[in-house]
Amino acid sequence: MAVFFNEPAHTFNEYLLIPGYSSSTCVPSNVSLKTPVVKFKKGEEPALFMNIPLVSAIMQSVSGDKLAVALAREGGISFIYGSQSIESEAAMVAKAKSYKAGFVKSDSNIRPDQTLEDILDLKKKTGHGTVAVTEDGTADGKLVGIVTSRDYRVSRMDIDTLVSEFMTPFESLICAEEGITLKEANNIIWDNKLNALPIISDDGKLCYFVFRKDYDSHKENPNELLDPSKRYVVGAGINTRDYAKRVPALIEAGADVLCIDSSEGFSEWQKLTIDYIRSQYGDSVKVGAGNVVDREGFLYLAESGADFVKVGIGGGSICITREQKGIGRGQATALIDVCQARDEYFEKTGVYVPVCSDGGIVHDYHMTLALAMGADFIMLGRYFARFDESPTNKLVMGGNYVKEYWGEGSNRARNWQRYDLGGATKLSFEEGVDSYVPYAGSLKDNVTQSLGKVKSTMCNCGALSIPELQKKAKLTLVSATSILEGGAHDVIQKDSNNSYNK
């Protein structure tokens, strides 16, 4: 006979936090949101952590290279979507990894015998104002000069003017030799009031640039998440079909962490994928797995070697898996069950496997609830799809700005690999919808505000860190009437358009 769970499955909306004692030091500015991303042994530090507990969903309409950069600046990780060719996903990873680094490989290069018109075309293509002039026009050719916007005036020059005639020649440049430290390079930039410092080899070939704006950017974004080479940390999605080809390409491109993208992860296909990665790379390549909704699913993936486990089936705003297939579980109940299994596994083995809550987040306070229930970090799709940095179009509907947002199981995405059960290589039926979300502006502004609420609520609970919140949190189920009571009620709200407010 089937196994029945007598307790109903609950969502985040059915819970509230009970305030705890807050000391005078418990203020939002003292709260740390640092959290582990990958598994680690008791008494050791994780190989990868985040400064904020947010990652972006592995979706075409959410996670491109632009959002990866923006989220890493804030301290989180974007998982670039895998429902594209191996080459294009690897290119997105590489682009995000090279966007900002202490030592940047030049992507704007030109020969001295080319023209101002070529400079303008190159600037339009790359968006970068500093162009390296090398003998052969390559990124590692012999440096002969540099062109910046200060070197030419389009209104006063012929577009056929040779680069060699208006570039700043090599003998007038301040350069540094390969092997210099980033701190030494930044000191040279500061002392000489430079915007860019070329790093060259012994034989005069261009190796890298160090830019003043990168130093300024770091000061403006103290939480930014960087790898040991001072590049942004970037994740990437993989599937259980072409992993033997996709994984090497993504690692070569610089991906810091991978995640198997699947609607249902309690499957041997996930174990086979992890087995391949371990056989080829050992523990050096980090890979998360999922999704699951109960303790058995978590234990299977943890014992299979997953570096983190993703929780949630059918809770996403564009997901109709529950409607189509009748499988899933309320996100809050699923998360609580899995996190209890995670803690028991840690006590038994001494290995802590982080849990990612994926789906079910409607309001900002749901983030705090997910963390209090045991999640180490949260994966968000709809939330990030609303921002400037997501890869979709911004449209006007009914006088309001919206952005396109579609599920990986929709006919638009046709990501059959995510729903693969070893059968035909196609999407048999839809498990996602095509939709719009209200446009919300920049990622930075919204993430700052959302996490400000999280920190404030944590202080209400007397917690200054995520582990402390999980230890001190007191949660209560609420009735439908209580939910209504939580909003504005029994009043006539003012309308800003009414004449008495003008």
Q: What is the mean pLDDT of the chain?
A: 91
**How do 77-80 and 235-238 pair as beta strands?**
parallel
Could you tell me which of 122, 120, 128, 123 has the C-alpha nearest to residue 157? 120
How wide is the angle at C-alpha 98 spanned by C-alphas 287 and 120, nearest 5°?
A: 150
The yes-or-no answer on residue 412 being catalytic is: no
Please report the pLDDT score of residue 482 as a whole number. 83
Chain-centre distance for alpha carbon 34: 15
**From CA 449, how far away is CA 237, in angstroms rounded?**
28
The yes-or-no answer on residue 319 being catalytic is: yes
- Are 347 and 336 spatial neighbours (Cβ–Cβ below 8 Å)? no
- What the block records as the tokens of 45 is 């530090």
- Within 13 Å of residue 257, how many CA atoms lie on the same side as its CB? 32
pLDDT tens figures, 159-199: 999 999 999 999 999 999 998 988 899 999 999 999 999 99
pLDDT tens figures, 212-264: 887 777 778 889 999 998 899 999 999 999 999 999 999 999 999 999 998 88
Is the pLDDT higher at 423 or at 25? 25
Q: Go through 352-373 and write b for each residue having 16 or more CB atoms within 10 A of its CB, e for each that does not.
A: bbbbbbbbbbeebbbbbbbbbb
Q: Tell me the mean pLDDT in the region 74-84.
A: 96
Q: Tell me the mean pLDDT in the region 336-353.
A: 98
pLDDT tens figures, 255-314: 999 999 988 899 999 999 999 999 999 999 999 999 999 999 999 999 999 999 999 998
**Residue among 319, 356, 459, 461 flagged as catalytic:** 319
**Residue among 259, 418, 459, 461 flagged as catalytic:** 418
Please report the pLDDT score of residue 428 as a whole number. 53
How wide is the angle at C-alpha 266 spanned by C-alphas 264 and 267, nearest 5°?
A: 95
pTM of the model as a whole: 0.81
Q: Tell me the mean pLDDT in the region 449-461.
A: 98
Q: What is the 3-state secondary structure (H, E, C) of 202-255?
A: CCCEEEEEEEHHHHHHHHHCCCCCECCCCCECCEEEECCCCHHHHHHHHHHHCC
Residue 500's pLDDT band (cuts 50, 70, 90) = very low
- Are 88 and 111 spatial neighbours (Cβ–Cβ below 8 Å)? no
Whether the pLDDT of residue 498 is over 80: the answer is no
Whether the pLDDT of residue 143 is over 60: the answer is yes
**From CA 79, how far away is CA 62, in angstroms rounded?**
9
Q: What is the 3-state secondary structure (H, E, C) of 46-59?
A: CCCEECCCEEECCC
Whether the pLDDT of residue 432 is over 80: the answer is no
